[in-house]
Structure 1
Amino acid sequence: MTITMENVGIAVRDLEEAIAFFTDLGLTVLGRDTISGDWADTAVGLDGNHARIAMLQTPDGNGRLELFEYLHPDGIETPPTQPNEIGMHRVAFSVDDIDDALQIAAKHGCRPLRGVATYGDVYKLTYVRGPSGIIVMLAEELRQS
C-alpha cells in the first residue's frame, strides 16, 4: 500500500482571519469552496454539515493546510489547547528567518507562548498561538546542508 500525506485540516472560527495569517507567512490559497450535502454529512460524520473551506499550500508544494469554518452545525468553542494535551498538537513550518516570521505573526496579534529557543546548533524555534487558538511552530534551521 502506498500512502502520502494529503493535508492537515483545522476548524477555525473566522476563515478570512486564518487565511490572512497563513498567507502572510507565505502559504498560497489553492482554492475555496462551500461544502454541504449528503456526501459531506457522510464523509465528516455530521448531519447538516455546511462549511466554508480553503486549501492552502506551502511554497515548496509539499505541505497543504485545509481550513474550515462551520456554518452548520455551529463551531464549538473550546479552551485553547496546551502543548502537553493529548490529541492534535500543532502545525509546524520551517522558515528561513524566524524574526521575520514573528513580525508577521505579531501583525495578527500572535506572539510566542514563551519565547524563541535554540535547539543545539540545529534550530531556532518557537510556538505561537495563531488564529482560533491554533498552536503554530516556527523553526529556522541554523545549519545549512
Structure 2
Amino acid sequence: MPIKLENVGIAVRDLEEAITFFTDLGLTVLGRDTVSGEWADTAVGLDGNHARIAMLQTPDGNGRLELFEYLHPEAIETEPTLPNEIGMHRVAFSVDDIDAALGIAARHGFHPLRGVATYGDIYKLAYVRGPSGILVMLAQELHKS
C-alpha cells in the first residue's frame, strides 16, 4: 500500500499570528476555511468541533502544515512541549540561510532555545519556540551536493 504524508496539524492560540510567522519563513497559504458539523465531529472525535483552519505549504511543494484555532470547544492551554517529552514533538524545516531564518523568527519575538549548534559537518541547527509554544527546528545543510 503506497503512503505519503499529507500534513502535520497544529492547534494554535492565534491563527493569524501563526500564519504570519510561517509565511514569513517562506510557506504559502493554500487555503482557509471554517470547519464544523457532524463530519468534523466524527473525523476529529470531538462533539461540537468548530475551528478556523489554514493549510500552508513549503516552497518545494512537499510539506504541508494545517493550522487550526478552536472556536468550540474552547481550546485548552497546556505547557509547551519539552524537547524530551513523549508525544508530538516539533516541526522541522530545511532553510538555505539559518541566520536569515532566525532573523525572521526574532522579528516575531521568537529566539533559539540555546543558540545554533553544528551537527558534525552536516547541519547547523536551532530550535525556536514559535507561536503558541510550537517547537520549530531550523536546519541549514552545510555542504549541498
> Which TM-score bucket, shorter chain as reference?
over 0.9
For residues 119 and 29 of structure 2, what CA distance do their matches in structure 1 show? 32
Runs of 4+ aligned structure 1 residues displaced above 2 Å come to: none
Q: Which amino acid aligns with 1:109?
A: G
Aligned-partner residue type, residue 56 of structure 2: L
CA RMSD in angstroms comes to 0.3
Identity %: 86
Runs of 5+ unmatched residues, structure 1: none
Q: Deviations over 1:86-145 (max 9, x none)?
A: 000000000000000000000111000111000011000010000000000000000111
**Any stretches of 5+ residues in structure 2 without a counterpart?**
none
Per-residue CA distance 1:27-86 (angstroms, 9 max, x = gap): 000000000000000000000000000000000000000000000001100011100000
The number of residue pairs the alignment matches comes to 145
The offset of 1:5, in angstroms, is 0.3
Question: Taking structure 1 as the reference length, what is the TM-score of the superposition?
Answer: 0.99
Aligned pairs for 1:1-145 (under 5 A) are 1-145=1-145
Which AA in structure 2 matches 1:119? Y
Question: Aligned equivalents of 2:73 and 2:40: distance in 1?
Answer: 12
CA distance in 1 between counterparts of 2:24 and 2:110 reads 12
